[in-house]
Amino acid sequence: MAWDTHPLIITVAPVGAEVTRDNHPGVPYTPAEIAAASLESVEAGASVVHLHAREPDGKPSGDPLLFAEAITAIRMVAKPIIMVSTGGAVWMTIQDRTRALEAGPDMCSLETGSMNFGDDLFLTSRPDSISSAALAYGKGVVPEIELFDVGHSVAAARMLKEGHLRGPLNVNLVVGVPGGIDAVPEAIPALLRPLPDEVRWSVTAIGRHQRRMLSIAILLGAAGVRVGFEDNVYLRKGQLAKSNAELVEDIASVARQLGRTIATPDEARRILSVG
């Protein structure tokens, strides 16, 4: 299949569990702020919204009511694929991390292993991965597998073989996290090697690596790429992005210059098999 056969899916991650207003004054905290940032990004070309929740003071939260408030506000205006994080924050239990599934998303992120996450330990046991997948499928939620290192790809392939995951897989290759695989071109085939050929893959790159690695992914035929304040708050070196939407606009422009079209939400649903 040609590298430019399918339109490119752009995911926006407007806020994660780590970035704060000390990093960027425009980081959204409340459900209304997160919804507004998401809708601006959809208007700019994003077809998937990857959500974390925050308390009003910015503390990461697994409260499904906070997720639901943002999701409802987004769906009142637009119809992107909405994905919730089951990664949460490194200190959350797996029960806290999966509460977001109660908010009725289309998709969820899913980890298949533990890792050093900077100076912290991010724990996801194999039984937790299996139970989280079963919970997601039971609610009709499509998982996206987050692959921070090659061992996570091996674990995902095993879960697929054993029937805990359903193919074809949607996976997100996350490069540049301290403690995970580094942000180099060779990371992409390394993370994909253990997986079936029909996998739908996207790339997330952290901080200064973002634009370079996403451009490589676009040329290699990635189904999608991810931008947003969860991963990077800079448009260029030393220049803060004005908004999440500006990061979406920038990578959409890069993709078009490289010969890719940008997927609409309906096209993204078809590509990712999301109802």
**pLDDT digits over 178-237, tens only?**
999 999 999 999 999 999 999 999 999 999 999 999 999 999 999 999 999 999 999 999
Instruction: Give percent of the chain above pLDDT 90.
Output: 97
Instruction: Give the burial string for 164-194 (b: 16+ CB within 10 Å, else e).
Output: bbeeebbbbbbbbbeebbebeeebbebbbeb
Question: Are 119 and 85 contacting, i.e. CB atoms less than 8 angstroms apart?
Answer: no
State the average pLDDT for the chain: 97
pTM of structure: 0.97
**Cβ(30)–Cβ(69) under 8 Å?**
no
- Taking the C-alpha atoms of residue 155 and residue 147, their distance in angstroms, rounded to an integer, is 10
pLDDT at residue number 275:
86
Locate the domains of the chain by residue range.
9-272
Does the pLDDT value for residue 4 go beyond 80? no
What CATH number labels 9-272? 3.20.20.70
pLDDT digits (tens, 9 = 90+) for 95-109: 999 999 999 999 999
* Banded model confidence at residue 2, pLDDT cuts 50, 70, 90: low
CA distance 106 to 56: 25
Q: In the structure encoding, which two tokens stand for residue 35, read together?
A: 């919804």
